């Protein structure tokens, strides 16, 4: 039962599954399939996600989730797959063998030093599967494992699962809306009702034929049924007159961007999006990214859908937004928080929000992923309507039913050479502890800088060190990050001069130089810290507790992604006109009022962006937590009840370069002391 809820998600459930059985779990959206899988895996309890009554007895299990990017827990393929084995306390020399075996079992012959970000959706899902297989689970739990994938990638994931099940006598429970292709693998189908009770259980053919009407009513993709009928009169007309349409600019059209996953559909959409913004202005463009929740604004579904429309068209805009929400089947949820909607509903809300202010161009990234039949029809109808109203629509998709409606198709192919993500380690390869150690030494010796001559000597030594590094091939990138530091140095010098009891130029300059002496080197050095390697060192060399170190390093590994999210949130604000302020009734004349309005704008923006970024980070963090727990992150030792001690698959070490750096830092300090 969810905390504070009055009705449970799962009700009076009594389920026995024999060892070796392969079970398909069906039911309408919200029936509690995911909850059941989480409960069986033990995550529900360990994460305190809900109030639970009853008991569950399950063997060691592996849980595969739908959203695989958030479920990755390692910086590289090797580290990710090794995570479960490390949690189980397996010796490092055995882990590399296990990782190789697991990657082979899921047919993923890729470099183990590649990053998960560089993999396609299907490869990523098989990577996560490999991470589970290292522990040889007796029970596989699969929660919509192929919902986000194109047909080919889905096939590869299914074969990898099938391969494992054939080789072992493991049990498996699979939940999937689009289930036809799983049928050859399963011997039993369990049907959950909307209120979380088992209403049917038995042999697949019998259950499917006797429950066919239920399944159709719930909108599941029942085998043998054609795609739902969309009123196609316009679409057919459009196809006949395609050449004519391309000439007439005021007619709407749909361009489908298709290609295997990993072929860069999203990048293509993003590029076309920024072109459109430059050409038409931000609010003439609508955008629904793959992560639909990025586009949300405000506290209710209604607010989120209507905010832009109201700003541009007033009350008429709001009315149109409500109309769209009704057509998306969201009329009963107008006052709910957008984050409380199901994944499919969120996608529909995002589309309604993008359409409500009547943009001229609309960009959709996989809009129909994970939709059941009923809601698929709603989405496609809305897209079709927009086209007939003259909107030019670009859709990146692998949904063949949707592609059938396109007026034009752009086919992308896989890039022929997959870029290798890691440069060969340079000859000078300091480790994080070396970098931090040298920085700390600089900070320590900066306290010896108390006269102008010591400042000059110290800073000169730093300058010489940087010069030598430059001569030997050091090429710092992104020097922009030094800008705040330089401004800091300047303002420190000035303010110490100006606000002191008896102003003394020499003292102020000394203070500023002392700052420059350690801030600049530490910023230059910090850029080269690799979080995973730092984690290895803190855990093995510094002997810090493993779990906080690992959680911290996983979070640091997300920084690039979080920066991307921040940029996307800023883009959404621009596209949705959230910074536009409606003209006040009386023009502001008072300078104080103008200042207030500006401050409101700045702080409103900071608050909104911060709030949304934190929300996004928590959403993905929760998935990561489930994925880590499912691989034994907090597993207890049998018998003692204490946390199981982990091993480290990658051995931490210090390098010669670390010694060099620390020695250079010491020399700089010496120069300052002599000065």
Minimum CB separation from other proteins for residue 665, in Å? Answer: 11
For residues 166 and 601, which CB has a smaller minimum distance to other proteins in the complex?
601
- Measured from the CB atom, the residue of 396 and 436 that comes closer to other proteins is 436
Q: Given the complex with other proteins, which of 166 and 598 has the nearer CB atom?
A: 598
Q: Which is nearer to other proteins, 314 or 548 (CB)?
A: 548
Q: Pick the closer one to other proteins by CB: 159 or 634.
A: 634
Least distance (Å) from other proteins to the CB of residue 34? 14
Q: Which 3 state secondary structure label does DSSP give 262?
A: coil
Beta carbon of residue 233, minimum distance to other proteins (angstroms, whole number): 42
**Closest separation in Å from C-beta 143 to other proteins:** 18
Residue 50 or 245 having the CB closest to other proteins: 50
**In the complex, minimum distance from the CB of residue 618 to other proteins, in angstroms, rounded to a whole number:** 5
31: left (phi > 0), else alpha (psi -120 to 50), else beta?
Answer: alpha
Give the whole-angstrom CA distance, residue 356 versus residue 321: 5
Which C-beta is closer to other proteins: that of 232 or that of 563?
563
What tokens were used for 164? Answer: 């494992």
Query: Burial letters for 437-459: b for 16+ Cβ neighbours within 10 Å, e otherwise?
Result: bbbebbeebbebbeeeebbbbbb
The tokens for 159 are 């074969």
How far apart, in whole angstroms, are the C-alpha atoms of residue 542 and residue 533? 13
Q: Are 647 and 92 in contact (CB under 8 A)?
A: yes
CB of 272 to other proteins, least distance (A): 25
Nearer to other proteins, 540 or 617 (CB): 617
Q: How far is CA 503 from CA 60, 115, 447, in A?
A: 71, 54, 21
DSSP assignments along 542-594, one per residue: S---HHHHHHHHHHHHTHHHHHHHHHHHHHHHHHTTTT--PPPSS---SHHHH
- The answer to whether the CB of 609 falls within 8 A of the CB of 562 is no
Asked if 420 and 474 touch (Cβ cutoff 8 Å), the reply is: no
How many other β-carbons are positioned within 10 Å of the β-carbon of residue 661? 25
Length of the chain: 675
Decide: 188 and 21 in contact? Cβ < 8 Å: yes
* Minimum distance from residue 116 beta carbon to other proteins (Å): 16
CB-based contacts of 663: which residues, under 8 Å, 6+ apart? none
Distance in angstroms (rounded) separating the CA atoms of residues 528 and 519? 15
Closer by beta carbon to other proteins, 414 or else 606: 606
- Of 470 and 618, the one with the shorter C-beta distance to other proteins is 618
* Residue 358 Cα to chain centre, angstroms: 29
Q: Least CB distance from residue 171 to other proteins, whole Å?
A: 25
Shortest distance, position 562 Cβ to other proteins, whole Å:
4
We find the least distance from the C-beta atom of residue 671 to other proteins, in angstroms, to be: 19
CA angle 192, 193, 195 (to 5 degrees): 115
Residues whose CB is less than 8 angstroms from the CB of residue 550 and which lie 6 or more positions away in sequence, other chains included: 535, 539, 633, 646
CB of 479 to other proteins, least distance (A): 10
Considering the complex, state which of residue 326 and residue 611 has its C-beta at the smaller distance from other proteins: 611
Under a CB-based contact definition with an 8 Å cutoff, are residues 235 and 405 in contact? Answer: yes
């Amino acid at each position: 039962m969810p905390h504070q809820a009055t009705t449970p998600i799962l009700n009076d459930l009594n389920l026995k599954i024999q060892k070796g059985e392969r079970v398909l779990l069906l039911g309408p959206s919200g029936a509690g399939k995911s909850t059941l899988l989480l409960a069986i895996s033990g995550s529900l309890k360990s994460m305190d996600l809900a109030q639970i009554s009853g008991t569950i007895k399950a063997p060691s299990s592996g849980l595969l989730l739908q959203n695989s990017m958030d479920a990755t827990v390692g910086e590289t393929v090797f580290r990710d797959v090794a995570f479960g084995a490390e949690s189980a306390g397996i010796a490092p020399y055995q882990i590399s063998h296990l990782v190789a075996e697991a990657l082979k079992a899921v047919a993923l012959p890729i470099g183990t030093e590649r990053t998960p970000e560089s993999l396609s959706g299907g490869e990523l899902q098989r990577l996560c599967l490999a991470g589970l297989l290292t522990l040889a689970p007796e029970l596989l739990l699969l929660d919509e494992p192929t919902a986000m994938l194109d047909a080919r990638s889905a096939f590869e994931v299914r074969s990898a699962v099938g391969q494992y099940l054939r080789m072992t006598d493991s049990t498996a429970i699979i939940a999937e809306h689009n289930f036809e292709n799983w049928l050859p693998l399963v011997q039993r189908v369990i049907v959950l009702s909307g209120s979380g009770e088992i209403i049917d259980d038995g042999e697949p053919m019998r259950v499917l034929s006797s429950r066919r009407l239920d399944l159709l009513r719930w909108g599941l993709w029942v085998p043998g049924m054609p795609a739902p009928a969309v009123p196609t009169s316009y679409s057919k007309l459009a196809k006949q007159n395609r050449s004519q349409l391309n000439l007439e600019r005021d007619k709407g059209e749909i361009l489908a961007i298709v290609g295997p996953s990993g072929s860069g559909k999203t990048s293509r959409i993003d590029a076309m999006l920024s072109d459109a913004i430059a050409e038409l202005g931000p609010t003439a463009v609508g955008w629904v990214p793959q992560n639909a929740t990025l586009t949300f604004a405000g506290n209710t579904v209604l607010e989120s859908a209507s905010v832009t429309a109201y700003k541009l068209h007033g009350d008429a805009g709001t009315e149109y937004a409500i109309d769209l929400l009704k057509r998306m089947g969201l009329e009963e949820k107008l006052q709910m928080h957008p984050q409380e909607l199901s994944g499919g509903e969120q996608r529909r809300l995002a589309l309604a929000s993008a359409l409500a202010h009547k943009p001229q161009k609309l960009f959709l990234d996989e809009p129909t992923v994970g939709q059941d039949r009923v809601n698929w029809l709603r989405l496609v109808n809305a897209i079709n309507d927009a086209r007939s109203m003259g909107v030019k629509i670009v859709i990146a998709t692998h949904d063949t039913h949707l592609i059938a409606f396109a007026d034009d198709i752009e086919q992308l192919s896989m890039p022929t050479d997959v870029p290798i993500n890691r440069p060969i380690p340079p000859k000078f390869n300091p480790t994080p502890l070396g970098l931090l150690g040298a920085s700390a030494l600089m900070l320590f010796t900066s306290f010896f800088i108390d006269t102008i001559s010591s400042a000059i000597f110290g800073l000169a030594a730093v300058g010489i060190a940087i010069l030598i590094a430059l001569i030997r091939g050091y090429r710092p990138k992104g020097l922009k990050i030094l800008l705040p530091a330089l401004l800091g140095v300047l303002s420190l010098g000035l303010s110490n001069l100006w606000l002191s009891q008896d102003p003394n130029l020499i003292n102020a300059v000394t203070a500023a130089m002392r700052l420059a002496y350690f801030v600049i080197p530490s910023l230059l050095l910090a850029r080269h810290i690799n979080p995973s390697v730092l984690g290895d060192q803190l855990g093995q060399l510094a002997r810090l507790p493993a779990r906080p170190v690992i959680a911290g390093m996983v979070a640091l590994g997300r920084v690039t992604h979080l920066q991307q999210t921040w940029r996307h949130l800023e883009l959404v604000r621009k596209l949705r006109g959230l910074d536009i302020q409606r003209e006040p009734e009386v023009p502001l004349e008072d300078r104080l009022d103008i200042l207030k309005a500006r401050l409101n704008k700045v702080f409103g923006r900071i608050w909104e962006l911060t709030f949304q970024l934190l929300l996004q980070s928590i959403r993905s963090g929760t998935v990561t937590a489930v994925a880590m727990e499912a691989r034994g992150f907090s597993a207890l030792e049998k018998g003692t009840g204490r946390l199981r001690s982990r091993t480290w698959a990658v051995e931490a070490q210090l390098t010669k370069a670390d010694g060099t750096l620390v020695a250079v830092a010491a020399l700089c300090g010496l120069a300052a002391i002599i000065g």
